[in-house]
Structures are given as structure tokens and as C-alpha cells.
Structure 1
Amino acid sequence: MCGIVGIISRKPVADRLIDALKRLEYRGYDSAGVATLEGGHLTRRRAEGKLSNLAALVEDKPLAGTIGIGHTRWATHGVPSVANAHPHATGALALVHNGIIENYRELRAELEADGAVFESQTDTETVAHLVTRELAKGAEPREAVQEALTRLEGAFSLAFLFEGESELLIGARRGSPLAVGEGEGEMFLGSDGIALSPFTDTIRYLEEGDLAVLEHGRITIFNEHGAEVTRPVKRSAGKAFYVDKGNYRHFMQKEIYEQPEVLSHTLSSFIDMTSGATRLPKGQAIDFSTVRRIALAACGTGFYAALVGRYYFERYARIPCDLDVASEFRYRESPLSDVDLALFVSQSGETADTLASLRYAKGEGLKTAAIVNVEESTIAREADLVFPTLAGPEIGVASTKAFTCQLMALAALAIRAGVDRGVIDTEREAEFTRILSEAPRLANEAIRLEATIEALARKMATKHHALFLGRGFSYPLAMEGALKLKEISYIHAEGYAAGELKHGPIALIDETMPVVVVAPHDRSFEKTASNVQEVAARGGEIILFTDGKGAQSGIVDLAEVVILPDMPEILTPIVYAIPMQLLAYHTAIQMGTDVDQPRNLAKSVTVE
């Protein structure tokens, strides 16, 4: 995840901008930069690589400005380089940006036709020129930013510094977090409270669609409709805290809301957004054209991610896959002569059963790969290949953002494998990368359904059992939804392939049994609809998660319906996971359980 920080002060800010960025290093980055106003004029320093490179540059060429912005970048559009590093600037402003602007190509072409000259490959620079064009028309800075925001598609947070405006910073967010803080005669802006903790313990977290105007002694916040609003002040633990819940009741809720941002950064490891081509993370190399078979293994939520991964690899790359629960992998003693890659999925990288399976595979002479969230973990160190998920610290025991990032990594790897094997041509590869880039925005739209899902959770909290059903890509989601519910609410729940309903589970259905159905209008929708009819005929209470087309079918009259946006099939596991998480989360709140630390569970299972 990229990091953003901004400061308005009466004394030079460059060194403090860099210090604040150091607190965001855990997010990962490949370049960094700062911009300040000196005598009202924009001045930038940018460097590829570690923050120490930027610090050395600033020491060699000091910045004296008392207002500035800083950024650590993880490349999405364009290679890591000084030219692509933030802040990006025109003669009128500088800005820093987290997230992905999905429609940047169309906007860039429009702006270039108007005479704009671009210096980078990034989507971010498009926003700079878009706002600059509004300023040239005579708009004030806030008006220019608000108008530009109406043109942007995607999930993002932005911070702006304007030429000649030595007491003005503007920040805005849509789907990517941003916080503002107040100090003694100073104002601050940051990706989260961690960046601001050395300076203030008085923090406001911007809500979806907010725009904040920071001036000396004043912060004014406007909502997505342009109306002035207030946001509650949160007192952080100041310099002592490292990971903070921010404006959320629980870490789990915060981590659900972080998914649009972390998905974009996971995606950046596997896709060059400028060329539309897939790629492997830096330093990793495998030619999937030589892979005859993949063995997948994982535990818990990681197992359900791997199950989706099997669908991805077999459908999009045409590589046969075996899948095992990691605790059974080495005991099954499956012949591995035609397995050319063993792929393991783990959030912590320390899961004992998964680690033992990896060591077993290595002992059998297999090439091993790991999808992990902690790059310094044992599994990451021992695997031949490492594919990081870049979800950032996940504190809640029930995995949320790590799961969807695992799915993103698996989807991108499957597309890369399909390209290597000649199953996917260049044109289709570009279409897949465009589709995957929509995931952060669609995830954000799914999060916006929280109020609807919370109402359903109040009813779920009165139940003792639940069934979850799905077909195809939705089958692993049904099992993951059931796992989430039982993990944190302690309600007994089971996930089934919808086609298995008549083979036993239908005996459980009566008027007291809620049945959650995951059914986007995909190739298997009509068959799932038949299962819904069977449940309704037996008095089951149906909660249906579907899309606009699915909502037009007759089964909606039989269920309480949550309508998600329409999307290509490859994205449904990623996006539909979010309402499953929210349903479990709000049910657990109603039950009064410990959401972040449910009984009997540990975040990392390091014993067999």
C-alpha cells in the first residue's frame, strides 16, 4: 500500500515528511518523494528505492518549505523510476495518490488532445492535469478538485499542494483511507493515524467521498455532495501506537474497509497497468508452459482461496490441479511424478501444517511456490518462489483482506500461466488485466452495502444454524462465508456446493433454517435458482446475494436479496467475499462476541 503524508506548519517540513513516511514503510514501496512550497513555488525531491535514498537527496539538496506532501509508491502504472515517483506536478500543483484511476487512458487521451504534456506513465499524472485544466478555467482549488473528482473512476485517496498557496492542502478519498490531524499551529494529512502519530493524537478519519480543506488553524470537510460536514475526533495513543483501529469499531471492520486499497497494490505486483501485460513479482521467475500439473495446499480460509485458485488455473490456463487441506497433503502420499509446481497459500507464512507440506514437497523434489502476506516468514524463506499479497498487517483473527488479496494473486497468476501456455492471447490478456483493475472499485461498491447487510445480520443473530450454497466460483465462497460466520459469531454454519443440496443437506431445511445463497448471474445461475426453489418449497429463509440480472429473475420473490454490481465472472469470488465478511461481522456484533479475537482461535496456527 502506498503511503501519503502532508503537513502545514510555520517551520520546515521536509525532514518530518520523511520521518512520517518511515512509519508507513511496512506498507511496501519502491520509490518515494516529497514536494514543498519555497517562496510560493513548488519544489520536489524524488528517489527510486528506499527512503534512505530520498533522505540523502534532501540532505544534499535541502527543502526549506513550511508546507508539503510526501509519498511512498508501490508501482502500479509504469516501472519504479524517478519519473514515475510521486509527487507528480504541473506548473500549478503537485499531488500524491493511492489507488487506481480506472479510466485514466481515456482521460489522458482527452487531456493530450487539449495540449497537456505528460512526463510519466502513471495514472496519477492524469489527475494533476485534470485539476490544472479546471484551475486554468478560473476555478478555485477546491472547486477544481471537486470537478475533477466527478470524472474519476476507481478507488483512490489524493492529496494536493498548490503553487502560490502556502497555507492550503486538499485531501480527498473514495475507497482508500485518508486521515487529517490537528497539532499546535499545524495541520496534518496521512494515509492513516500511523503516519500522523509523531505529530498529534487528534485525528479525524475521512468518510467515503469526503474532501478536506486544510488551512492554518482550520480543517473544513465536505461530503461527496459538496455539503460541509463534521467528522468525529479520535484520540489516538500518540507516539506509542503502531497499528490503530482508526475510525472503526474493530480491526476486522477496518480490514474489510481496507480491501479496495490493498487489492490495488496486490494487483500491481502482477500487472503492468500501462502496457496491460501480466508479470511476475520482482525476482520471481517461472515458465508455466512447462508446468503439467499443480498441487495446491493450504489451511482454513487459505484453503478456500486455493480452491478458487484451482478453478482459475484450470479454466484460464488449462493446467490440471490437485488440492489438499495442508494437514492431509503429506499423509495422502499422492503420486507426484507429473506435478511440476507445488503452491501453498498462507496469510502468516508460519502455518505449521502448510509449512510441513511445503517441506514434504521439497523433499519429493518439487518446485515450490508460496502466496503469503508476510515476506519474512518461514514459508516465504523456504519456498523457491514467493508471491506476496501486500495486504498489510491483518490484526483480526478472522482473515478478510488477506483472503481477497490471495484471490487477486491467484487470478493474476492464472492469467500469466494462460499467456505462457498460449491459451490467452495478447488481446485477451489486456482485457483480463483491465477487468482485474476494476476490483478495487467494485470492492468499494460492495462495502457500501453494509447497512443492508447489517439489517440481515440482526435476523441471523437469532438463529442457531445456517447453510451457505454456491456453484462454480461461488462454491468456495459459500464455504468461506460459513467459516466466517462460525468463527466469530459461534453460530453453526456449513457451506455446500448447491448441487449437493439434494444429497443430504436438504433434510435440515425448515422454517428455522436460514440459507445464504451466493449466486451472481453466471453460467450456473439457472441451476442455482432451481436449488433456491427447492429451499423455498420447504420453508427455508433465503438470503440471496446476486447481481442486477439475477435480481430480475423470479427467485427474488422467494428471498431477501442483496444486489451487487454486475461484473465479469473472474471477479465474483473477490467481490462477493466482502458481503460474506460483513454478514459474519455484524452477526457477531449482535451476538456480543469478541470479533477480533474469537474464542479458541489464533491468528497464526504454528502447531500441528
Structure 2
Amino acid sequence: MCGIVGAVSNRNIVPILLEGLKRLEYRGYDSCGVAVHQDGALRRARSTSRVAELETNIATDGVASGTGIAHTRWATHGAPAVHNAHPHFSAGANVDAMATGFGSLEADAASTTPVARIGLVHNGIIENHDELRAELRERGYVFTSQTDTEVIAHLVHSFYDGDLLDAVQRALPLLKGAYAIAVFARDEPHRVVGARQGSPLVLGVCPGENFLASDAMALAGVTDQIVYLEEGDVVDLQLGKVWITAADAQGRYLPVQRPVRTVTAHSGAAELGPYRHYMQKEIFEQPRALADTLEGVEGISPELFGDGAYRVFKEVDRVLILACGTSSYAGMTAKYWLESIAGIPTSVEIASEYRYRDSVPDPKTLVVTITQSGETADTLAALKHARSLGMEHTLTICNVSTSAMVRECKLAYITRAGVEIGVASTKAFTTQLAGLYLLTLALALVRGRLSEKQEAAELKALRHLPVALQAVLALEPQIIAWSEDFARKENALFLGRGLHYPIALEGALKLKEISYIHAEAYPAGELKHGPLALVTDEMPVVTVAPNDALLEKLKSNLQEVRARGGQLYVFADSDTHIGSEPGVHVIRMPEHYGSLSPLLHVVPLQLLAYHTACARGTDVDKPRNLAKSVTVE
């Protein structure tokens, strides 16, 4: 989602700001901008195109500076338009239009705005922006955007009297919601102030220069000395000094110490190699990602999840899974495993809904969060809500070891999918499933439901997964042929039963995310309870058909589709005896994989979505309206 980069240095930091934005492009955005302190004034360039176009504008106008801020915006308040793009300026009451009046142009070149006194970028959502906007208007401030961010810029300006840190500290208590901000002032040319509450922000330190970013990846190649700011922190960056403060119970800002960590932040799979898109590359990286995630697992042990996990696992008698989007489907799959293998009652909650309903807390619950980035705002908020209800046993399955989620949870399993550039998750999902399966086995062991013989068999199956996935990926040519049919459709149904119903949900999500085809998924047994009314020869019905206990039931459901003229596209295990015939298209999976079958069956669904999107000519890696790391509620 939105990205922030800021810097204070004696060298020209504009290339660093732009490179930082490029490293954050994978998160998704619809506008971008840079603002710098140059020749005694604040200058900026903004664009509703890609960072590369912004870079061209800046080069043309000769923008260079040692102090600046930059941003990629994913629209929340206000349409994707230049006047809503960050950075936002404030010049004070009655003269603001002079500072920011670029109208509705598709891009504005860097422009000198000598009256602008405050420049600001912001991630998050300010919930009370309407009330603050009304108050600031009464005081003479003129708004030129529809964003909640411009409210913060004017609010900081209203307190500014030559000391930027003081102005920010006085403004923050008036904000309700989530934010990470970076602010600088015309009258203080070598200073940037940052603050965070509910949105991530990191500090990068170097001798004689300092940096801010919403993600350490943005600073890769610049510094590996990273400070992860905590909730409520305010940081003052100057050339040779960094000053971090946090408010005490009385609201007084006092100095605090935060550890400096050495973080090797890679820009991610920056080279596409032989692949057309990052999504395709990441689909094919799944065997390696799974091997890396399972590396070092010599046996099943609670301590795979951290010190003290055995005691926690002995104490809990139920599991609550909190997640959003694709991660919630991983949780739904894990529910089947946890209840059938570990014998522990499990519920799965959509994180964005959980904290807004009345639930029945149980202190003997293991609260499990699932998140690729570890910064998903809804999931973090749901975790805090669960803890406020007295559920202190917390564990996360996460792909980023330095993330807020890992710091907030007592236990963790870090997947090793590597950086995922494509917005539609692929390898993060399969590695989450691997981590959740290990959790299932660890809980089964503690609960006396996993013998040594079973443990050995499970470990053998897990180690074989990368090889099994390679065989599934070899099905790509057959899936490409299917995608040519799907590209002409506008609707699709996905069916699964039992353990594979969440996989059908994930397949439908992938198709609609990147191809923009309307897709829905149902448990196959629910067809006759409504969805069957949609089935015609124009409605492709994708079915996940493993050779499990529900196979015969599933075959009956397939006949219901055929009887209504529906076109079936079936991913079937080789021994299911489902054959191709008119109206029934079958791709045979290489082998049946028992409880781990979901990790294999989801891969052809990913490939089907990918190649259908390619055939339709959509922006596969950056689908419209979506963002990678959802850091706002």
C-alpha cells in the first residue's frame, strides 16, 4: 500500500528518494510524488503515472536537495488525481491555494512554491479529518484536495513557530486513527520529523545522514542500520543527530531509546529472468520457497515456534485464527487440519470484522495471526482486541521477521517465501500453509495424537513437497489452453469440498484479482441450495477433485452441473476416474497428497488465473484498485 521515504543529508538525496519509491512499487499505488528543500523553498513534483515518469519530470526540472520526502499513494480519501497526491503543502491561512493549486492536471512538474512552509506525506487514515477540516477552515485554511492528509499538514502548520518537532508533537494528540508521517519545513532546511501510530515507520541511520521509510526495503543499498519505531514514537532527523521521543501517561514527550538492528533488506526478486511477470516468477519459485520454509525442520517440536511454546501448547484448549484475504483462506484450510489431526477446536475470523462484534473470549485460546507482511492493519488491530479480552497466548505465521506482528506476538513461525512483488499472493500462501501444517503437527504431538511413526511419515511428505510441486508446475501448457477459453468469459464458479473448499475460494479470488472476471466459490454440496441457478454453458465451473473421502459426493455434484449444460474444468487426482468428455475438461494432477493436497491443488488455480489475465491483457502484477501491503483499515 502507500509508501514513505524521507532523508536528511549533505548529498543530493533525490535519487535515493526515487529509488526508495521504486522498491516500494510492488505494494501498489495510483500516484506518487517527491518534495524537497531547495534554494530556500519547498519544491515538489507529483504524478498519477509510475515512478519512472515522476523521475523524468524531476530530471527535466533539475530538482536536487539534501532534504526531502517522497510517497506512493493508494487512494483512500479522494480520487487518484494529482491534487490528491502526496506530498501535501501548507502555507497558512488564506494563501494556501498559491502553494498547491495544480488543478486536475495528470501530472505537475516540479514547481517552486515560496509560500509553502510545511510539506508532509502520510500513510494511514485519520478518522476525525472532517471535524479537523471544519475547524481549520474556520481559521482561514484553504483545502485543495479531498485527502485526510492535507488536514495534518495544516494542523502542523497551525502549531508551527520555528520548531518542527514541537509543532508535530502538539498536533498528534488531536489525530484519531492510524498514521505514519514524515514532515519537513521551509525554515529548517536540514530537518525531517517522523511519527507513527498504527502504521509502520522505520529509521535508517548513517554517519552524517539519516533516513525514514515505511519499509526497510526502501533503504536497501543505502543503510542496513535500522530502527523500528514503536507505537507513538516521534523521531527528529537532522544531519548528525537522531532524537526519538514518546508520550508518557500525562502526554509529555520524553526521550526514549530504541535498538538499532542490522537488517539485510533486499529489493526483492528484482530480475524477472525468463518470466513475463513477477506473479509468474513467484508461482514458479514455490518449490524453493517451501524448501526454504521447511529448512532445518528435523523433527516436530513446539519449540519451532519459539521458547516457551510447549508450555503454551499444553495450556490452550482451542485455537482462534485471525487473518484477511488470502491469509484467511490459509486459516480456513488450517481449521480442517487442526480439528482432524490435532483434535483441537478451531475458529477462523476475518480480522477486519472480529473486533467489531461481541465475542466470547477464552483465556485458554491460542490466538494465531496470519499475515504475509506482518503489517496488515486489520490483523494487528484484531490481535490487540483479542489481547484486550484476556487472550494472551499469541502466535503468528509471518513472512517478515522484523515486522510489527512478530514483535507483538509471543510466538512465531517465520516463513521464507522471500519478497513477493506481485500483488496477488502466491508463494506467501503456500508457505503459510506449510507453517500452519507444522503448527498442527506440533499441537498434535503435545496432545498425544502424533506417534513417532506418524511423525516420520509427515516429515517425509513435507520434504517431498518441493518435488511434488515441480510436477504440478509442469502442467502449465495444459492450463494455458484452458485460459484461452476463460479469457472470453465474464463469470466463473469454483467448487471444492471439505479441506479443498478454501482452495476453491483462493482460486476464485486469484481469478477476479488479476483478470477482473467475476468469480465465486462454493462448497460443492451447496450447489443445489442456490448457485446452480447461475449454471449455463457460458458459466465455466472449476472444480478441485482430490481422491479423498468426499470424492463420490463431489462426482454427484459434477453431474448436477452437467445436467444443466455447465462446462466443467476439473483438476483431478490421477486415480479419481473422472474422464474427459464433451463439457468435461480434465487436467490430471501428478499424485494424490493426502492432508497436504491443498498445497498442490492451489498451484494450477494460480496458473489458470495468471494465464487468463495475460490473455485478457490486464496489469497482472499491479491489478487495479489493489495494494500489496494493506496498512489501512
Please tell me whether the aligned partners of residues 295 and 339 of structure 1 are also in contact (alpha carbons under 8 angstroms). no
Deviation readout 1:258-301 (Å, 9 max, x if unpaired):
000110111225x20xxx54454374432323221111110000
Bigger radius of gyration? 2
CA distance in 1, matches of 2:509, 2:380: 22
Counterpart residue identity of residue 424, structure 1: L
The alignment covers a number of residue pairs equal to 366
CA distance in 2, matches of 1:357, 1:282: 21
Q: 1:242 to 1:535 in 2, by over 3 A?
A: closer
The equivalent residue for 1:92 is: none
Trace 1:524-603 onto structure 2 (pairs within 5 A): 524-550=550-576, 552-553=577-578, 558-603=583-628
Counterpart residue identity of residue 249, structure 1: R
Counterpart residue identity of residue 437, structure 2: A
Please tell me whether the aligned partners of residues 269 and 421 of structure 2 are also in contact (alpha carbons under 8 angstroms). no
Trace 1:296-311 onto structure 2 (pairs within 5 A): 296-311=321-336
Structure 1 residue 425, shift from structure 2 partner:
1.0
Q: 1:426 to 1:379 in 2, by over 3 A?
A: same
Trace 1:259-408 onto structure 2 (pairs within 5 A): 259-268=286-295, 271-272=297-298, 276-278=299-301, 280-281=303-304, 283-287=306-310, 288-337=313-362, 339-366=364-391, 367-408=393-434
Instruction: State whether structure 2 residue 606 is matched by structure 1 residue 606.
Output: no
Q: 1:278 to 1:445 in 2, by over 3 A?
A: farther
5+ residue gaps in structure 1? 1-196, 198-238
Instruction: State whether structure 2 residue 444 is matched by structure 1 residue 418.
Output: yes
Q: 1:453 to 1:305 in 2, by over 3 A?
A: same
Please tell me whether the aligned partners of residues 305 and 413 of structure 2 are also in contact (alpha carbons under 8 angstroms). no
Q: 1:331 to 1:565 in 2, by over 3 A?
A: same
Structure 1 residue 561, shift from structure 2 partner:
0.6
Structure 1 residue 585, shift from structure 2 partner:
0.1
Instruction: State whether structure 2 residue 523 is matched by structure 1 residue 497.
Output: yes
Deviation readout 1:318-361 (Å, 9 max, x if unpaired):
00011111111112221112542100100111111101001111
The equivalent residue for 1:152 is: none
Structure 1 residue 427, shift from structure 2 partner:
1.1
CA distance in 1, matches of 2:488, 2:364: 47
Instruction: State whether structure 2 residue 539 is matched by structure 1 residue 513.
Output: yes
CA distance in 2, matches of 1:355, 1:414: 23
CA distance in 2, matches of 1:538, 1:387: 46
Structure 1 residue 377, shift from structure 2 partner:
1.1
CA distance in 1, matches of 2:409, 2:361: 17
CA distance in 1, matches of 2:474, 2:488: 24
Please tell me whether the aligned partners of residues 536 and 558 of structure 1 are also in contact (alpha carbons under 8 angstroms). yes
Structure 1 residue 490, shift from structure 2 partner:
0.2
TM-score, normalised by the number of residues in structure 1 = 0.58
Counterpart residue identity of residue 504, structure 2: A
The equivalent residue for 2:476 is: 450
Please tell me whether the aligned partners of residues 315 and 364 of structure 2 are also in contact (alpha carbons under 8 angstroms). no
Counterpart residue identity of residue 319, structure 1: I
CA distance in 1, matches of 2:267, 2:530: 54
Please tell me whether the aligned partners of residues 343 and 368 of structure 1 are also in contact (alpha carbons under 8 angstroms). yes
Deviation readout 1:56-85 (Å, 9 max, x if unpaired):
xxxxxxxxxxxxxxxxxxxxxxxxxxxxxx
CA distance in 2, matches of 1:242, 1:264: 17
CA distance in 1, matches of 2:328, 2:386: 17
Q: 1:280 to 1:529 in 2, by over 3 A?
A: farther
TM-score, normalised by the number of residues in structure 2 = 0.56
Q: 1:279 to 1:286 in 2, by over 3 A?
A: closer
Q: 1:241 to 1:580 in 2, by over 3 A?
A: closer
Moved more, 357-366 or 474-483: 357-366
Counterpart residue identity of residue 616, structure 2: M
**TM-align CA RMSD:** 1.9
5+ residue gaps in structure 2? 1-220, 222-265
Structure 1 residue 453, shift from structure 2 partner:
0.3
Structure 1 residue 428, shift from structure 2 partner:
0.8
Q: 1:278 to 1:556 in 2, by over 3 A?
A: farther
The equivalent residue for 1:127 is: none
Counterpart residue identity of residue 277, structure 2: H
**Secondary structure of 2:498 counterpart:** coil
The equivalent residue for 2:454 is: 428
Please tell me whether the aligned partners of residues 278 and 429 of structure 1 are also in contact (alpha carbons under 8 angstroms). no
Please tell me whether the aligned partners of residues 371 and 406 of structure 1 are also in contact (alpha carbons under 8 angstroms). yes
CA distance in 1, matches of 2:402, 2:475: 36
Q: 1:247 to 1:555 in 2, by over 3 A?
A: closer
CA distance in 2, matches of 1:328, 1:516: 29
Please tell me whether the aligned partners of residues 533 and 555 of structure 1 are also in contact (alpha carbons under 8 angstroms). no
Trace 1:196-207 onto structure 2 (pairs within 5 A): none
Q: 1:498 to 1:246 in 2, by over 3 A?
A: same
Identical-residue share of aligned pairs (%): 48
Please tell me whether the aligned partners of residues 532 and 555 of structure 1 are also in contact (alpha carbons under 8 angstroms). no
Please tell me whether the aligned partners of residues 313 and 319 of structure 1 are also in contact (alpha carbons under 8 angstroms). yes
